[in-house]
Amino acid sequence: MEIGSSQPKVVVIGAGIFGSSAALHLARLGARVTLVTEAGSASGASGRSLSWLNSARLRSTEYHELRMLGLERYRTLLKQHPGAPWLRFDGGLTWDADSETNGIASVFAHEQSIGYPARLLSADQIASATPGVRAQAVPPQGAIFNPDEGWVDLPSLIDVLLIEFQGLGGQLVQNAGKASVAVSGSRVKGVNTAQGHSFDADAVLLATGPAVPKIVAEVGACIPDATPIGLLVRTKPVEVSLRAVLNTPRAAVRPTPDGALVVDSGWSEREVVIHPDGSYEAKDSTIQGLLREASAVLEGNPKLVLDSYGLGPKPIPEGGEPVFGQLDEVAGYHVAFSHSGATLGLIAGELLAAEIVTSEQSPLLAKFRPNRFG
């Protein structure tokens, strides 16, 4: 795409992690950037994410390489913000259910084969590797400890990114209502919002999480969607020694910057009630059950008390791998849609910004183009 200006005008829609990261990287590259969000920053999926930073288990080589670059960017960020309570690399611990489907041994062999740091631990070895885990919850097949993994509090990170973005002259437009991409012929011309804002643009990046597939369908693009309704529960502050992210059969758990825990799981998502009108709700029995399951994997079985919960669509493309880049249908129309928002947030924003400004496609995103769906 020939932008035709040394300072291209770019509008980014969505102030979650992808939109905020890309907007900052665009501003760093000298673009004139407007970041438009329907409500506040991190008000969607980024505000209710477990935010586990990892490339664990099995995935394609290209996806693993991109995630590893994502982890490197976070380590660089941590050097710039030493001691930040919202970004930690205290490892990740994962185990499977004690059944014939337990795949821990094969996962460990795979991670060893690709050089991904991993230790296969028996229950009685876990305390020496990472604190706060109830050993009795670990099955006989053991657990994998990945010492290079961590977690990030995305709302805190997004605040940091947006401070620098605005310091570089970027314009942040919050509470703008739903935004639509204006198209003239076969290229973008700008963005219009429900609150009456109108912005001209040489390029647009759509980073609206689970809404991306429906929005791009308006211009004839197809991104198959596997988005479920996610539930993330936050506890009140609790005295635990847990530092790592736990990924277990019945609960995934991580600490928060303020001494609480956040918890999610696959089974609790399946219990979300979806009403005929499209609205949804989480049953109290599901929330309390999730708190009990989290307590069961923690040393001392602490009493976990609900503080709040987030409920809403969790963006997942069909097939699981991310969708990044320009649509074939409309020149200047770029998208970011992925389940791995936390791990890929910084690297994806960096690569997408470079593509938008230079018109040169990154080989790192070659496998993840929207046109792969035909």
Q: How far apart are CA 340 and CA 140, in angstroms?
A: 30
Q: How far apart are CA 321 and CA 340, in angstroms?
A: 9
Identify whether the C-beta of residue 360 lies closer than 8 Å to the C-beta of residue 338: no
Q: How far apart are CA 28 and CA 243, in angstroms?
A: 34
At the second CATH level, the architecture of 92-147+228-313 is 2-Layer Sandwich (3.30)
- The 10s digit of each residue's pLDDT in 206-225 is 999 999 999 999 999 999 99
Residue 36 identity (one-letter amino acid): V
Token pair 């790192």 is at which residue? 364
Identify whether the C-beta of residue 25 lies closer than 8 Å to the C-beta of residue 349: yes
Query: The tokens of 221 are what?
Result: 């693009």
Residue whose C-alpha is closest to residue 310's, from 86, 44, 51, 87: 44
Identify whether the C-beta of residue 89 lies closer than 8 Å to the C-beta of residue 79: no
- The 10s digit of each residue's pLDDT in 335-358 is 999 999 999 999 999 999 999 999
Identify whether the C-beta of residue 227 lies closer than 8 Å to the C-beta of residue 313: yes
How high is the pLDDT of residue 45? 94
All residue ranges of the chain with pLDDT < 50 are 1-4
Token pair 């990154």 is at which residue? 362
Identify whether the C-beta of residue 333 lies closer than 8 Å to the C-beta of residue 183: yes
Please give the order of strands across the beta sheet that includes 245-247.
Answer: 119-121, 143-146, 92-94, 245-247, 252-255, 261-264, 229-235, 306-313
Query: The tokens of 262 are what?
Result: 């956040």
Q: How far apart are CA 224 and CA 214, in angstroms?
A: 10
The angle formed by the CA atoms of residues 38, 40 and 42, to the nearest 5 degrees, is 105
Burial class (CB in 10 A: 0-12, 13-18, 19+), 182: middle
Query: Which residues contact residue 17 at a Cβ distance below 8 angstroms, ignoring those fewer than 6 apart?
Result: 42, 46, 154, 157, 158, 341, 342, 345, 349
The angle formed by the CA atoms of residues 114, 146 and 258, to the nearest 5 degrees, is 145
How high is the pLDDT of residue 2? 45
Query: Which residues contact residue 285 at a Cβ distance below 8 angstroms, ignoring those fewer than 6 apart?
Result: none
CA contacts within 13 A on the Cβ side of 8? 26
Q: Which CATH class is domain 9-47+155-223+318-373?
A: alpha beta
Query: The tokens of 135 are what?
Result: 């050993």
Domain regions of the chain by residue span: 9-47+155-223+318-373, 92-147+228-313
Identify whether the C-beta of residue 229 lies closer than 8 Å to the C-beta of residue 314: yes
What dihedral do alpha carbons 337, 343, 344, 346 form, nearest 10°? 120
Strands 52-53 and 150-152: antiparallel
How high is the pLDDT of residue 7? 87
What is the pTM (predicted TM-score) of this model?
0.95
